[in-house]
Structure 1
Amino acid sequence: MLAVRPKKTVSMLTRDRVRLDADVYYPDAEGEFPVLLMRQPYGRAIASTVVYAHPTWYAARGYIVVIQDVRGRGTSEGEFKLFVHEIEDGEDTVNWAANLPGSNGKVGMYGFSYQGMTQLYAAAAKPPALKTICPAMVAYNLYSDWVYEGGAFCLQTNLGWAIQLAAESARIQGDVAAHYTLYAAAQDISVYDRVPSLNECLRKFAPNAFYHEWLEHSQDDDYWQEISPQCYLQHVDLPMFHIGGWFDTYLRGTLRLYKDMAERSQYRQQLLVGPWAHLPWSRKVGAVDYGLEAVSPVDEMQVRWFDLFLKGLDTGLEAESPIRWFEMGANMWHTLPIISKSNQKSYFLSSTGLASIREDSGMLSESCPESYASDVFVHDPWRPVPALGGHAVVPAGSFERSQIDCRTDVLTYTTAPLVTDLHLAGEVMAEIWCSADTPSHDLCAVVSEVHPNGSVYNLTQGYIHVPSGQDRPLKMSLQATCVCIRKGNALRLSLSAACFPAYPMNPGTGSPLGSTRLMDAQVVTLRVECGGDRASRLLLPVVDLG
């Protein structure tokens, strides 16, 4: 372990002569060292310590650590435009960092969320000094991995982030009134504005915020293609350490990036997925404590990773499985040779027609019911089904949700108590025959574990925004998961037409997002069909992890 010198604040100029500021942490030792670079928009003093060890911890292990404010953030000059300058600025920064005094010319990058995205954009430029990256909790396709899910706008996460960035912009500009108002809004985000997906605070104090553009581009059009990492990384090949969480809102992007790179890369691609939300990465997520094993191993694993690819040390990583998943319920890590490609196992919905009234009416079973049945339920915009836990709302994680399943605007379908442990690892799908009496409707699917005492804890969920009038089952992708449901417990699928404020309430009018006033939202009657030739089913990735 090395001593660490007091941090230095240093600056560089981009190719268009914009000054970017960074804090640099040096080991207090002779010799040359690799550089670890993090580029972030929240003020470099934070250094993502909400999930990572402080930069001094990495510096003590023989690295020069650089934490930089991206353009227009912190004390760096220029105008902050979301993701616009990160390729060129990232390349310039990597080249500058490689030539810092004491550098051995090799650079690695780390960080999560926006700090993960800056790694992908820097890698897109292919600077020779950048030898490896460790992107955590990122979007590969910004539209489908970050901003929208199943065609539905991710309201609470996008709105909360937009307000946070707008407040930081107001602070930098010295706008006291705007900063105070936005800060107050961030503590209690109001989603009950005149038009629920819009926000009067943002409209007033950040009229040019990216948030408004995101609402306007509700389809996966050229706007998203021009700014998504997926469009720039097709010819990039680096060793990457991918990090995700089962309750992280951006897990879709982490898994898509890993799968794409693993299929075509000549280098090691490593994947770690813990039982975490976007933050923090700790043993307790939501209302569930996953034990000491769930505490983040990321810092130690990153040092081993960087020691291998930046120092050329044999850390034993290459002899280990590239995939490490945490199995919730069993509360242990599994190393897998590949992502499980096992056959999806179908659990079919059946009902007496009272699945919104009685929890013993809707059933899940492995056999398809021969007789047809349907359940009808009503979505009232005055009292939408609330979001509770999962990956798309704050706080995220697993919570006791029996009070939601007891609502009459929620359908529940439950298995008999399991006679053996059930292990799930991978992607979860649902095919639901669902129709509505309005031009558009939404459907939310939540998979939960039901305990003998009646308590219910969510495991994974999915959401889809669809036009009505389709005579085919809705195919829904739920969040990937890895969980053990113990024998004696049961599995449940809950269906509703809202999950508010994780996603905006669908007003039922078929109008574009952000154009319908709350008072014009319609009551929606929905029908879910099952059995016969309209068999709705849940498809689960059942595996043998015993």
Structure 2
Amino acid sequence: MLTRDGVRLFADIYRPDSKGTYPVLLMRQPYGKAIASTVVYAHPSWYASQGYIVVIQDVRGRGTSEGDFKLFAREIEDGFDTVNWAAQLPGSSGAVGMYGFSYQGMTQLYAATAKPPALKTICPAMIGYDLYTDWAYEGGAFRWQDNLSWAIQLAAETARLHKDEKAYQALYTAYRNLPLSDLIPAHPEILKTLAPDSFYHDWLNHPKPDKYWQTLSPKTYFQNVDMPMLHIGGWFDTYLRGTLHLYKEMASRSAFPQYLLIGPWGHLPWGRKVGAIDYGAAAVNPIDLLQIRWFDQFLKGKDTGLLKELPVCLFEMGSNLWQSFKKWPTNHRKPFFLSSNGLANLRDDAGKLVRKEQAANNPKSQDVFVHDPWRPVPALGGHASNPPGAFDRTAIDCRTDVVTYTSPPLTEDLHIAGDVAVEVYCTVDKPSFDLCAVLSEVQTNGSVYNFTQGYVRVEADRKTAPLTISLQPTCMRIARRNQLRLSLSAACFPAYPVNPGTGDLPAETRLIDAQIITVTVQSGGNFPSQILLPIQTPSV
């Protein structure tokens, strides 16, 4: 097809075997149309066999499509033109739906902002609604490992398209052994040299939510968009914040059905095992069958029963069962307070989590730990590192630069579903520091498996007000006799750059500038450091 400015875009088209008129399912992606997101979805030929014309298109400047690729820059106009073109294909009913995850989820949002009349529904999975808060940064900290690896991947594809074998080989090697030790670690020379036009440089040089991010983010253009949407996420997906950001907004204002499904998955693949945990047969990817029901409902006008089901479906880790809700759970969050004898960085039994009724007599205490940039606390699983998921972090919790607070063995199952936060009173001896909070389940055999975490960069010492860390939303059952644990550290490397303690931004921080940081966590008395947990009462 030709865009409005005369650029030729190429697509593969899959059709049902039988003649007739069919709705169109469209995916627009930058990784080569033959892949067609089969890392998580069924092959387009399967969707075609369900009675749809399926269009998988290379976006501008990627794959076989012509033009220059610039991240997200032309997806509104090109998305509008593509939907109009797809709606007029031979055999098309004129109704178009879109599906896809990650970049392919973003192209749905951009196309929808232009309001092409033929676009009737979308199924965005794992997206950034606000690109600053949902994708590039978390808690003000640059999401280094994901941003860097993605930038190298896209740069390598550009080198391949230009038949630059030397650049491709160098980038291919760098992707599999990330350059983490350059003079300025967050800004490696390989990207400066081989990908000077990469989005990475802009993202690194815009560390605050300024006009650059407003111009780039779908959220800026989405206020008047309304249609049925199926929102798909994963508890260990790095972009879950974006999925929920969009869902919550649409659920609050939409005149159409908004459905949400979150499984126990990382960004890819979507299966029963993530990290070191097998979540059972119920966790096997249900999305292809669900999307056909969704498209049958809204593109073919069939009653598939979807509208009779509760619109929020969350996989509860621990019980390994799907739980349904009328809306995103917003129950009043209940606190677990931190308590310590001052040795929570040295002993498992020193730092405790106590309930409200026990906190009245919680004496003031403080735990001091020292962050050494030479040996930063490593990332392990969660949503921000690769590979994602739950892992046994017993060895990390034994480090003296990690403070841990653990509840007594639970007397009954603890069901958690919704938004999680940690409020910590702390002081530091440097102008800037980072704080990573990880929640884990401690099993009766002593193993410790993470299930949610959060991260924040702090640019000033906090002496009185608590520091709030928003953790990844979750849905988790902690079994009776197991324990809940909070782990705090000043790094999660290389998911985020090591904070040098100087107040300098990652784009200007040399490796040699990083300093030792001493952090004091205060609890008890007038310092009610706490976890705020959305505790649910399970339905019988």
Q: TM-score range by the shorter chain?
A: over 0.9
Alignment of 1:540 onto 2:529 = no
- C-alpha separation in 1, matches of 2:157 and 2:504: 33
Find the counterpart in structure 2 of residue 457 from structure 1: 449
Find the counterpart in structure 2 of residue 124 from structure 1: 113
Please tell me whether the aligned partners of residues 196 and 505 of structure 1 are also in contact (alpha carbons under 8 angstroms). no
- C-alpha separation in 1, matches of 2:455 and 2:77: 36
Instruction: Give identity over the alignment, percent.
Output: 64
- C-alpha separation in 1, matches of 2:485 and 2:330: 23
Find the counterpart in structure 2 of residue 205 from structure 1: 194
Structure 1 counterpart SS, 2:468? strand
Structure 1 counterpart SS, 2:425? strand
Q: CA deviation at 1:452?
A: 1.5
- C-alpha separation in 1, matches of 2:331 and 2:178: 42
Alignment of 1:157 onto 2:146 = yes
Alignment of 1:437 onto 2:426 = no
Please tell me whether the aligned partners of residues 155 and 197 of structure 1 are also in contact (alpha carbons under 8 angstroms). yes
- C-alpha separation in 2, matches of 1:514 and 1:380: 20
Structure 2 counterpart SS, 1:186? helix
- C-alpha separation in 2, matches of 1:19 and 1:361: 65
- C-alpha separation in 2, matches of 1:509 and 1:338: 44
Find the counterpart in structure 2 of residue 345 from structure 1: 334
Find the counterpart in structure 1 of residue 42 from structure 2: 53
Structure 1 counterpart SS, 2:84? helix
Worse overlay, 360-369 or 477-486: 360-369
The aligned amino acid for 2:388 is A
Residue deviations 1:236-268 (CA, integer Å, cap 9, x gap): 001000000000000000001001001100000
Please tell me whether the aligned partners of residues 323 and 335 of structure 1 are also in contact (alpha carbons under 8 angstroms). yes
Structure 2 counterpart SS, 1:20? coil
- C-alpha separation in 2, matches of 1:398 and 1:99: 46
Q: CA deviation at 1:31?
A: 1.1
Q: Please point out which of 72, 77, 88 is paired with 2:66.
A: 77
Structure 1 counterpart SS, 2:166? helix
Q: Please point out which of 487, 504, 528 is paired with 2:521.
A: 528
Q: CA deviation at 1:190?
A: 2.4
Worse overlay, 263-272 or 368-377: 368-377
Alignment of 1:100 onto 2:92 = no
- C-alpha separation in 1, matches of 2:124 and 2:309: 20
The aligned amino acid for 1:133 is I
Find the counterpart in structure 2 of residue 8 from structure 1: none
List structure 1 runs of 4+ shifted beyond 6 angstroms: none
The aligned amino acid for 1:106 is A
TM-score (normalised: structure 1): 0.97
Find the counterpart in structure 1 of residue 367 from structure 2: 375
Residue deviations 1:403-438 (CA, integer Å, cap 9, x gap): 000000000000000010000000100100111101
- C-alpha separation in 2, matches of 1:132 and 1:193: 46
Find the counterpart in structure 2 of residue 388 from structure 1: 380
Structure 1 counterpart SS, 2:112? helix
Q: Please point out which of 124, 127, 151 is paired with 1:135.
A: 124
The aligned amino acid for 2:461 is G
Q: CA deviation at 1:109?
A: 0.1
The aligned amino acid for 1:502 is A
- C-alpha separation in 1, matches of 2:236 and 2:281: 18
- C-alpha separation in 2, matches of 1:130 and 1:112: 17
- C-alpha separation in 1, matches of 2:349 and 2:19: 71
Residue deviations 1:69-91 (CA, integer Å, cap 9, x gap): 00000010000010000000000
Please tell me whether the aligned partners of residues 234 and 264 of structure 2 are also in contact (alpha carbons under 8 angstroms). yes
Structure 2 counterpart SS, 1:346? strand
Q: Please point out which of 481, 494, 497 is paired with 1:488.
A: 481
Alignment of 1:168 onto 2:161 = no
Q: Please point out which of 422, 432, 440 is paired with 1:448.
A: 440
Find the counterpart in structure 2 of residue 66 from structure 1: 55
Structure 1: runs of 5 or more not aligned: 1-11
- C-alpha separation in 2, matches of 1:196 and 1:535: 37
- C-alpha separation in 2, matches of 1:469 and 1:323: 40
Please tell me whether the aligned partners of residues 275 and 390 of structure 2 are also in contact (alpha carbons under 8 angstroms). yes
Structure 1 counterpart SS, 2:241? helix
Residue deviations 1:39-90 (CA, integer Å, cap 9, x gap): 0000000000000000000000000000000000001000001000000000
Worse overlay, 498-507 or 365-374: 365-374
Structure 2: runs of 5 or more not aligned: none
Q: CA deviation at 1:470?
A: 2.6
Find the counterpart in structure 1 of residue 394 from structure 2: 402
- C-alpha separation in 1, matches of 2:323 and 2:338: 31
Please tell me whether the aligned partners of residues 128 and 239 of structure 2 are also in contact (alpha carbons under 8 angstroms). yes
Please tell me whether the aligned partners of residues 435 and 489 of structure 2 are also in contact (alpha carbons under 8 angstroms). yes
Q: CA deviation at 1:454?
A: 1.0
Q: CA deviation at 1:204?
A: 1.3
Alignment of 1:358 onto 2:347 = yes
Structure 1 counterpart SS, 2:264? strand
Q: Output aligned runs, 1:135-534, within 5 Å.
A: 135-366=124-355, 367-368=358-359, 369-471=361-463, 472-534=465-527
The aligned amino acid for 1:168 is E
Q: CA deviation at 1:343?
A: 1.1
Count residues in correspondence.
535
Please tell me whether the aligned partners of residues 339 and 362 of structure 2 are also in contact (alpha carbons under 8 angstroms). no
Please tell me whether the aligned partners of residues 14 and 20 of structure 1 are also in contact (alpha carbons under 8 angstroms). yes
The aligned amino acid for 2:397 is D
Q: CA deviation at 1:513?
A: 2.1
Please tell me whether the aligned partners of residues 435 and 468 of structure 1 are also in contact (alpha carbons under 8 angstroms). no
The aligned amino acid for 2:513 is D
Structure 2 counterpart SS, 1:122? helix
CA-based RMSD of the aligned residues comes to: 0.7
The aligned amino acid for 1:542 is I
Q: CA deviation at 1:469?
A: 2.2
Q: CA deviation at 1:188?
A: 1.6
The aligned amino acid for 2:208 is Q
- C-alpha separation in 2, matches of 1:370 and 1:322: 42
Q: CA deviation at 1:463?
A: 0.2
Please tell me whether the aligned partners of residues 437 and 468 of structure 1 are also in contact (alpha carbons under 8 angstroms). no
Worse overlay, 40-49 or 188-197: 188-197
